[in-house]
Amino acid sequence: MTILVTGGAGYIGSHVVTVLLAAGRKVVVLDNFCNSDPSVVERLERITGCPVPLVHSDVRDRERVADTLRRFGVDSVIHFAGLKAVGESVSKPIEYYGANIQGTISLLEAMQSEKVGQLVFSSSATVYGDPGYLPIDESHPTSATNPYGRSKLHIEEMLKDVALASPSWKIVCLRYFNPVGAHASGLIGEDPAGIPNNLMPFVAQVATGQRSFLRVFGQDYPTSDGTGVRDYIHVMDLAEGHSAALRFVADHPGWNAINLGTGRGTSVLEMVSAFERASGRPIPHEVVDRRPGDIASCYADPTLARQLLGWQATRGVDDMCSSTLAWQKNR
Ligand code: NAD
Ligand code: UFG
């Protein structure tokens, strides 16, 4: 039995592939490389010593996806393929709804026609909007403030309806908090094009001298040091969470949404200090105005993942920073 990993050449998908192959599972990666490079698949083969079959296709090509499910004897799908930049989604809503929502519908049609009912979907803590309380558990109200977030919310609702319609569907939506870090080999990691939007890749580029300083977006939040607090989760912990979700989904018909976070909040300045420890050098930074749309604090209640999946994050911020730095130097 084989797992189809859509978007498997991307940041999170590639790390998940290493964990699945290490656990003796078979995978097939389907990716259109709109935000990744085919060389990732070769690097995955180097890391794991296993062949990684690749289908170069858009997830919206339903026939191609159905053919992939058939040819490889796929029994479960992990669906990462989609667009993820919040700012870009505001200026390109049609592209975002097309890739994310149309992409998921097309995948579901192919799965239905090939009688494949097990699905793990990449959702996001963004579905909680501006947190009403902390830590955020899965019963926190959901909302969206931009097309990216709305696409995740619509997909979650759609998947709930699909699971309600027939017990042959077994669906888990994993709500990621802030994935960071990289595989210990230094061969794969987050590879943003252009100027990074997110904190960790930006700090990594300051640490390696590609950028001169970090702009800290606001120091007037109601947090311990005034800077934004997030639940950073090591991408290898996240990857192990997917492996646990696949085991869970195999005998749990219906729909579940589960947080993947550590339960710990870390401020921007704490992350900068951790990166300084990892690199042995100061990270020049300057406080500027708040970034529009940012929230003060966001961290998970990870209890449900522990209860349902038997999974919890084990890696700390020092490992997140040192692995990011190793990958940044190798890129
Ligand atoms: P990524 O961009 O690195 O990976 C996505 C992969 O999907 C890329 O390889 C891209 O080429 C591929 N892809 C995109 N559209 C496609 C399409 N239509 N057909 C086939 N392939 C396509 O992103 P990531 O950080 O690995 O995120 C993976 C998933 O997790 C996304 O759905 C994202 O929304 C979600 N997520 C990410 C984060 C994060 O901070 N990285 C947080 C929460 C949720
Ligand atoms: N930050 C800076 N300077 C930077 C970049 C970020 O100070 O150059 C700060 C932000 O203000 C925030 C923290 O670092 O306080 C984290 O910011 P990120 O951009 O790394 O992450 P966000 O929590 O803002 O966004 C992430 C994903 C989104 C997702 C959201 C909610 O990037 O896709 O989490 O899950 F929608």
The pLDDT tens digits of the residues spanning 8-53 come to 999 999 999 999 999 999 999 999 999 999 999 999 999 999 999 9
> Is the previous residue joined to 135 through a cis bond, with omega within 30 degrees of 0?
yes
**CA-to-CA distance for 318 and 184, rounded, in angstroms?**
13
Per-residue pLDDT at 237 = 98
What are 292-328's pLDDT values in tens digits? Answer: 989 999 999 999 999 999 999 999 999 999 999 999 9
pLDDT > 70 fraction of the chain, expressed in percent and rounded: 100
213 C-alpha vs ligand 1 centroid, how far in Å? 27
Orientation angle between helical segments 268-279 and 317-330, nearest 10 degrees: 60
Give the three-class secondary structure for 48: helix
Of 97, 148, 176, 232, which is the active-site residue? Answer: 148
**CA-to-CA distance for 236 and 128, rounded, in angstroms?**
24
Whether ligand 2 lies within 6 angstroms of the CB of 202 is answered as yes
146 C-alpha vs ligand 2 centroid, how far in Å? 14
Per-residue pLDDT at 295 = 94
Whether ligand 2 lies within 6 angstroms of the CB of 268 is answered as yes
Per-residue pLDDT at 192 = 87
Per-residue pLDDT at 312 = 98
Phi, psi for 203 (deg, rounded to 5): -60, -40
* Residue 281 amino acid letter: R
Placement of tokens 């579905």 in the chain: 127
Q: Going by DSSP bridges, is the β-strand pair 266-267/178-180 parallel, antiparallel, or unpaired?
A: unpaired
Per-residue pLDDT at 245 = 98
Q: Whose CA is nearest to atom 24 of ligand 2?
A: 294
**CA-to-CA distance for 120 and 40, rounded, in angstroms?**
22
Q: Which residues fall within 8 angstroms of residue 174, CB to CB, at 6 or more apart?
A: 120, 121, 122, 123, 241, 242, 245, 257, 258, 260
Per-residue pLDDT at 331 = 82
Enter the tokens of residue 20.
């699945």
Per-residue pLDDT at 271 = 98
- What string of DSSP letters covers 88-151? HHHH-HHHHHIIIIIHHHHHHHHHHHTT--EEEEEEEGGGG-S-SSSSB-TTS----SSHHHHH
Per-residue pLDDT at 278 = 94
Terminal-to-terminal C-alpha distance of the chain: 34
75 C-alpha vs ligand 2 centroid, how far in Å? 35
**CA-to-CA distance for 203 and 214, rounded, in angstroms?**
6
Model confidence pTM above 0.95: yes
Dihedral of alpha carbons 238, 244, 248, 249, sign = positive
Per-residue pLDDT at 1 = 84
Q: Going by DSSP bridges, is the β-strand pair 118-124/74-79 parallel, antiparallel, or unpaired?
A: parallel
Probe ligand 1: pick from 12, 128, 151, 152, max atoms within 8 Å of CB?
12
Per-residue pLDDT at 242 = 98
Nearest residue to 116 via CA among 126, 124, 108 = 108
Nearest residue to 328 via CA among 211, 120, 182 = 182
Dihedral of alpha carbons 301, 133, 100, 36, sign = negative
Establish whether 148 is a catalytic residue: yes
Q: Which residues of the chain, if any, have pLDDT below 50?
A: none
The dotted CATH code for 2-180+233-261 is 3.40.50.720
Per-residue pLDDT at 193 = 86
Nearest residue to 276 via CA among 228, 218, 214 = 214
